[in-house]
Amino acid sequence: MTAPWRAAVRTLEERFWVAGVAANFARALGLDPSGQQALGIVAAELTSNAVKYAGGGTASLGALEDPASARRGVAFEIEDEGPGIAALEQAWRDGVSEGRELTPDTPRAERRGLGLGLGAVLRLADEVVVSTGRGCGTKIRVVFWVKEGARPSPEAKAGDAAHRPPCSLPGGEPL
């Protein structure tokens, strides 16, 4: 993959920036709006994991062209030098965070995530490749292909303000 964009990520806040860069990149390559947003969510989740569990990493984006099928797509990669994902099979499962199954009774102090990030990545991306090993860091590459013939998502329907009940807060004006 040629990577025209690459950046170090160190803080949790940077996931929003990475998501925006990824979504713009996807738009420029012709992904439809829901593909752009899906890539943004995936990029944000993977960036947050690299920061939370490995102290940071390097994110990159590149354009892909599959000569066999003439498909075009976007690859997002994130690489870190952290401890690796222990029990990878378990980590993909929804509700598993830091090696344990979260329940409604899991104490506040023991919740650092929802345990839904990797599951969402798997559901949203067209392809996911993970290389990870204890003490070897983690590299995750996801691919989103341009869906040929896909139509742009319909415009979000604006709510009709005139039909909403007036705001009942003291002093409030109807929106």
For the bound state, the minimum distance from the C-beta of residue 159 to ligand ADP, rounded and expressed in Å, comes to 32
Binding ligand ADP (rule: CB under 6 A), the pick from 17, 113, 126, 146 is 113
Provide CB contacts within 8 A for 68, sequence distance 6+: none
Provide CB contacts within 8 A for 152, sequence distance 6+: 32, 33
Is residue 117 near Mg ion by the rule CB under 5 A? yes
For the bound state, the minimum distance from the C-beta of residue 125 to ligand ADP, rounded and expressed in Å, comes to 14
Decide if 46 contacts 140 (C-beta within 8 A): yes
Phi, psi of 47 (to 5 degrees): -65, -45
Q: Which stretch binds ligand ADP (CB under 6 A): 7-15, 17-25, 64-72, 83-91?
A: 83-91
> Which among Mg ion, ligand ADP, none contacts residue 30 (Cβ within 5 to 8 A by kind)?
none
Binding ligand ADP (rule: CB under 6 A), the pick from 29, 47, 97, 142 is 97
What count of other Cβ atoms lies within 10 Å of the Cβ of residue 91? 20
Q: Which stretch binds Mg ion (CB under 5 A): 9-17, 113-121, 127-135, 154-162?
A: 113-121
Q: Which stretch binds ligand ADP (CB under 6 A): 29-37, 63-71, 79-87, 157-165?
A: 79-87
Binding ligand ADP (rule: CB under 6 A), the pick from 19, 77, 82, 142 is 82
- Residues binding ligand ADP (CB under 6 A): 45, 49-50, 53-54, 80, 82-85, 91, 96-99, 113-119, 138
